[in-house]
Structures are given as structure tokens and as C-alpha cells.
Amino acid sequence: MAASETTSRVALRPVRETRPWAVDSWQARPAAQMPRYDDPVELAGALENLGKLPPLVTSWEILALKQQLADAQEGKRFLLQGGDCAEAFSDCNNEVIANRLKVLLQMSLVLVHGLRMPVSRVGRFAGQYAKPRSADTETIDGTTLPAYRGDLVNGPEFTPAARRADPARMLEGHARSAMTMNFVRALIDGGFADLHHPEYWNLSWVERSPLAAEYRRMVDGISGAMHFMETLTGPIANFQRAEFYTSHEALLLPYEQALTRQVPRQWGWFDLSTHFPWIGMRTAALDGAHAEFCRGIRNPVAIKVGPSLRAEQLRELIDILNPDDEPGRLTLIHRMGAGGIGQHLPRLIEAVKANGRRVLWVCDPMHGNTEKLGNGVKTRRFANIRSELEQAFDIHAELGTRLGGVHLELTGEDVTECLGGARDLSELDLGRAYKSTVDPRLNYEQSLELAMLIVRKSGAGATGLQV
């Protein structure tokens, strides 16, 4: 995660203040989706400990990513953001982390090769532990308990002890995020992302996939081109490593506050729990605590934009979060559903265009396409995911804007959670390997198929090689 030398191009002037911001000013605002901690002394003790621990990322990495997002806004980069809906503490292990990285690396290789432009890789990992829920409580057989809000807050088991909001989980979440980051950084520094060795990214269980053959043909082509270029120029360092950034929903504000710090030789405050926090759809109220918290930090931030958002609301959110129209600062992740994108995205694009504001448009084709089957299982149809993504490309092209990235829920595990795709998974297949405790994720083949689709939709050829 080396800082890019172009960091200095990002505007360094302070955000124009309309009203004072402080690291705790969000506490005076209505905070949606917050757990109720029953022991204030225990909570204060955990937060005090957290506040003394080292941060998970650095300010220069954050500014380097902001510059990359500024480049993506100008059409010079593509953003690939993906990972679990919710990380589980138990997923903090060698295999899950490495497999997720393999899928993201393979997808980004397809994108770099096909789009002929650099790709920024941002994981939904190393801190994606807090979840918004549609109800505060859950009732089973007449017993009502608090809803599961992610491992950072409580446990998924349906018992009073597991469902209690436990402040010590924030310390555990910080530790597991640090372990995840440490392993990702070590893998990358050790050569795991080296383009000379794409075989490191092979997943044992996908050998017979029809897409694997197409992928292998592409990798062979890239290896040939690299060999040719290095014969002429000598070893090219960029081929040996890839930058990886982290992101998560900035939902649990006491946790985010404890990791938001000032750093030497920089003005302002950085949320050092992640490079790229986002505000979820359920917490994007204009006067809410989440917008208040995010307006004062210097990280690039994203907002999830759903079908119920009014144009006026979006314009005001943009004014609150990026009053100076700073490049790279704001990303809008639209998640409308295949049936809603045609109706809702154009009006929001027109509103942003009319204001002349700079944003990065990213499509999340997952969250608007969640459905419940007759047996209560949550799933998503690959055909709908694909359709929303295709429509997103077309709508942006028609309106003269550009789709600059995708935001996906995916895993490197061999799961069957979304219907359809290359192997045409059916409702019966879902029972075979459904592991998610929250939203259904794309598996390896479905993820790679989407990467290939993005290349086809963007109309790019497949001859370039930039990393």
C-alpha cells in the first residue's frame, strides 16, 4: 500500500466551515442504527483503551487513495470495491483472507487488461464488522431479543448473552482488522500480487470452470506481453506489487471516533480505522450523526444512494460532505435494483450535473436486488445483478457521465448464495453451500463473469497493459 507520489496534487486546503465540527459533534445529532450499550462505564473504558491503540491505516495512504479516486472521476482509473457483506470474527483466517484477495486480484487483472487503464482495488475487509438492520429486535417462537448488528456489536446466536451489545467487541474488531491488514500487507509485500506469478491466485476448486479457460488464455497473453516488454526495458517494478486499500461502512460511530486522530504534519482529522469509509443507505439523513461525523474527516467518503433518495436531498448531502468540491473526496454508490435503476438514476445524475459537482459514480448491483425465497432464504439473481450493471453503463453513457467503478459483495469461498451465473445455480443448489449470515455473495465464477461483462460493456479492446 505504498503512497503514490502524486498525493501532493490533492487539494490540501481546509474544508470551508459552515458550523464548527469536532470529533464528537455527531453525538448531538440523531444517530440511526446504533446499539444500546447497557453499561456506560464499561463502554467508556473500552473506548478509552481503543483510543490508545495504534491506527489501522495511515494518512498518506488515505491521501494516495483520494488522489486515485480523483483520477477515476476524470475517467483515468476504474474502482473495484468488493468483499463480504459482513466479515465475521471467525473469518479472520489464512484461507478466507487469501481466497478473497485472489478473486479481487483476478478480477482486477481482467479489468486492467480489458479497460486499458489502472484499477484501484478496495476491499470490503479489515473492519466490515458492523451492520445496519431493518428492525431493532428479532422475535423467534415468542422470544424477542436485540437484532444481530455485526460482530463488532454482538453475536449472531439467538441467546440473550450473544445478543447483548458488548463494548469489548470493539477491541476485538480492531485486533482482527489489524491481523487481516497485516496478512494482506505481508502477502503483497512478499510477492503474492506479482504479475509474473498469476498462478499464486488460482483457487483449487475452480479448475474445470468454463470461465477459467478464458481467464487462462488472457493470462497467457499478458505473460507474453510482459516478457516482451521486460526483454526491452529490464524488470518493471510495477508488475511485482499491487496496492490494496480497505473500506467499511462507518456505522458504529463510537468505534470510528476512537480511531479518528490528528497526525503530525497534516491539518485536520483522519479516520484511521480504514482508508475509505462509506455512509450506508439507512444512515444518510441530512441532519444525522453519520453525515456530521463524515463531513469533518479528511478521508475520501462514499454514500450509498438508494431509490428513495430525492434529488434535493442528494444535492444537500453533497454540499455537507464536499462543500469545496474537492477532487476524489466524494463517491456516490448507487444501488437501485434492476427494476428501479431506469427510473431513479437519471434524475439523480441530472441533479448532480445541474450543480456541476464532481463525484465518482459507482454501481452496487447487489443491494437493490436482494429477495427472499418461499423458504425464507435471502438470495440475489445473477441475471438481475448483471442487468443493473449493464443498465448503469448505458444510463451514464446516455447522460454524458461515466460509471467509474463497481461495488460488489463477493467471496473467494466456494459458496452458492446467488442464483444463476456460469453454472446456472438453482434454488436447490443454494442449500449446498450457503454460508453468509447476512447478504448473499457472488462466488468466484460469478465475480469473474461480472469483470468480463464490465470490460465488454465499457467497449474497450483488450490489448493494453497498465498496472
Minimum distance, C-beta of residue 7 to Co ion, in the bound complex (Å) = 31
CB 336 within 8 A of CB 304: no
User: Nearer to ligand PEP by C-beta: 336 or 454?
Assistant: 336
Least distance in angstroms from the C-beta of 79 to ligand PEP: 15
Residues 6+ apart with CB under 8 A from 179: 92
Q: What is the DSSP string of 306-362?
A: -TT--HHHHHHHHHHH-TT--TTSEEEEE---TTTHHHHHHHHHHHHHHHT---EEE
Strand partners, 120: 79
> Whole-number minimum distance, CB 444 to ligand PEP, in Å?
20
Q: Which is nearer to ligand PEP, 295 or 335 (CB)?
A: 335
Q: Which is nearer to Co ion, 166 or 439 (CB)?
A: 439
Cβ count within 10 A of residue 217: 10
Please, what is the minimum distance in Å from the beta carbon of residue 196 to ligand PEP?
Answer: 35
Q: Which is nearer to ligand PEP, 110 or 281 (CB)?
A: 281
Choosing among Co ion, ligand PEP, none, which partner's interface includes residue 281 (Cβ < 5 to 8 Å by kind)?
ligand PEP
Non-local CB neighbours of 206 within 8 Å, separated by 6+ positions: 212, 444, 445
- Identify the CA nearest to 364 among candidates 339, 343, 337: 337
Is residue 85 a contact residue for Co ion (CB under 5 A)?
yes
What is the smallest separation between the CB atom of 251 and Co ion, expressed in angstroms? 12
Task: Choose the one of Co ion, ligand PEP, none that binds residue 321, judging by a C-beta under 5 to 8 angstroms depending on kind.
Answer: none
| DSSP SS3 for 198 | helix
Cell triple for residue 5?
A: 507520489
Residue 385 makes contact with Co ion by CB under 5 A: no
d(CA 156, CA 163): 7
Asked if residue 275 lies in contact with residue 245, where contact means CB atoms within 8 angstroms, the answer is: yes
* Structural Rg of the chain based on CA atoms: 21
What amino acid is encoded at 221 in this protein? G
Residue 169 interaction partner, one of ligand PEP, Co ion, none, beta carbon < 5-8 Å per kind: none
Question: What is the DSSP track for 292-321?
Answer: HHHHTB-S-EEEEE-TT--HHHHHHHHHHH
Q: Which is nearer to ligand PEP, 114 or 173 (CB)?
A: 173
Of 170 and 408, nearer to ligand PEP (C-beta) is 408
- Helical segments of 1-58, H only: 40-52
To ligand PEP, the closest distance from the beta carbon of 332 in angstroms equals 12
List residues near ligand PEP by CB under 6 A.
85, 132, 280-282, 304, 335, 367, 439
Residue 360 binds which of ligand PEP, Co ion, none (CB < 5-8 A, kind-dependent):
none
- Min dist. Cβ of residue 211 to ligand PEP (A): 25
467 touches which of ligand PEP, Co ion, none (CB within 5 to 8 A by kind)? none
Site for Co ion in 387-446 (CB under 5 A): 439
Residue among 48, 45, 46, 50 nearest 175 (CA)? 50
Residue 97's binding partner among ligand PEP, Co ion, none (Cβ under 5 to 8 angstroms by kind) is: none
The option from ligand PEP, Co ion, none interacting with 174 (CB < 5 to 8 A, set by class) reads: none
**Interacting residue ranges for Co ion, rule: CB under 5 A:** 85, 439
